[in-house]
C-alpha cells in the first residue's frame, strides 16, 4: 500500500513538471512571434482584416477639422483642440541638415517626430541621441528605405528589427511607431512587429523640389487642426521650409506636438 502511494506521488510530480516545461516552451514561442524586438508595449494597435490581400497601400485623404473626425487608417483623430499639428521628418538623420533643423526647433521650442533610416542612424548616433535628449519622438522608417509590401516577410521583419535595435542602442528607448516607406506595408508584418504605423495628411513633396516657397505655401494653405505634415530633414530646402512653416503657423495660433499627442489623445 505504501509503495503504491509513493508511486502515485512520484508520477504526479513528473506529470506536473512536464506540464510546466510545456507551458514555458509554448509561451516563449508565442512571444517570439508577436512582440517587437525591443519588448516595447504597443500603445495603440492598428490592425485591418485584409484576407483578400496580404498587403495594404494607404493614401491619406483630407485633413481633419474641429467638427469632423478624420479617418486616419484605423486611427481616428477626434476631439481636436488647441490647434494641434504635427511636423514629421523622414529619411534622416541627414548630418548637417538635421543639425540645422534641430537648432531651429530648439530655438522655437518645438518638438517634432523623426522617422529614421537605420543605416543613417548608425552613421549619425550623436544626432539621434540629441533628438532623443531634446524631447523629440523617434520612429522607425526601416533600415534601407525598403518598400515593405514588396519583399518577403523575413526581409521586411529584419529591416524593422535592425532599425529598432540601432535606435534602442543609442537612446535606450525602443520605437513603437513606424512609418512604412511609400505608405505601404504587409499586414502580416504588422501583426508580427506589434508597432503602430503612422502616415500623413499633408505631403508637399519636398523631395521633388528645392522651391522653398512652394513647400511652405502647400503646407500653410492646407494646414488644419490634427494634421500630420510630411517633410524630409535630409534636404537644405526642406529644413528652411520647415522653419518657415513653423513661424507661419505659430503666428496663426497652431501648437506643434509629436504624433503621439495627436493620435493617442
90 is catalytic: yes
Residue (of 129, 132, 139) closest to 164 by Cα position? 139
Question: How many other CB atoms are there within 10 angstroms of residue 163's CB atom?
Answer: 27
d(CA 222, CA 242) in angstroms, rounded, equals 15
Is residue 193 within 8 A of residue 36, CB to CB? The reply is: yes
232 is catalytic: yes
d(CA 13, CA 170) in angstroms, rounded, equals 47
Catalytic residue from among 90, 91, 206, 233: 90
- Give the CA distances from residue 254 to residues 30, 115, 126, 203, in Å, rounded to whole numbers and listed in that order: 44, 22, 30, 18
Report residue 142 as a C-alpha cell: 526601416
Catalytic residue from among 91, 136, 227, 232: 232
In Å, how far from its chain's centre is CA 259?
A: 9
| Residues with a known catalytic role | 90, 232
Amino acid at each position: 500500500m505504501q509503495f503504491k502511494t509513493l508511486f502515485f506521488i512520484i508520477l504526479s510530480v513528473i506529470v506536473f513538471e512536464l506540464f510546466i516545461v510545456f507551458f514555458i516552451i509554448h509561451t516563449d514561442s508565442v512571444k517570439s512571434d508577436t512582440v517587437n524586438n525591443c519588448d516595447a508595449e504597443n500603445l495603440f494597435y492598428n490592425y485591418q482584416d485584409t484576407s483578400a490581400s496580404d498587403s495594404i497601400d494607404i493614401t491619406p485623404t483630407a485633413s481633419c477639422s474641429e467638427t469632423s473626425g478624420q479617418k486616419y487608417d484605423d486611427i481616428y483623430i477626434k476631439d481636436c483642440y488647441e490647434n494641434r499639428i504635427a511636423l514629421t521628418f523622414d529619411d534622416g538623420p541627414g548630418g548637417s541638415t538635421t543639425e540645422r533643423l534641430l537648432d531651429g526647433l530648439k530655438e522655437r521650442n518645438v518638438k517634432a517626430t523623426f522617422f529614421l533610416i537605420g543605416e543613417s542612424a548608425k552613421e549619425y548616433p550623436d544626432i539621434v541621441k540629441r533628438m532623443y535628449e531634446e524631447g523629440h519622438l523617434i520612429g522607425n522608417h526601416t533600415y534601407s528605405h525598403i518598400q515593405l509590401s514588396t519583399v518577403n516577410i523575413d526581409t521586411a521583419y529584419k529591416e524593422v528589427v535592425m532599425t529598432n535595435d540601432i535606435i534602442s542602442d543609442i537612446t535606450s528607448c525602443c520605437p513603437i511607431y513606424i512609418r512604412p516607406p511609400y505608405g505601404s506595408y504587409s499586414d502580416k508584418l504588422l501583426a508580427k512587429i506589434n508597432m503602430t504605423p503612422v502616415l500623413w495628411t499633408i505631403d508637399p513633396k519636398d523631395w521633388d523640389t528645392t522651391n522653398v516657397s512652394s513647400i511652405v505655401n502647400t503646407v500653410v494653405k492646407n494646414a488644419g487642426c490634427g494634421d500630420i505634415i510630411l517633410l524630409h530633414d535630409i534636404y537644405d530646402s526642406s529644413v528652411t521650409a520647415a522653419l518657415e512653416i513653423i513661424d507661419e503657423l505659430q503666428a496663426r495660433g497652431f501648437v506643434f506636438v509629436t504624433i503621439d499627442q495627436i493620435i493617442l489623445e
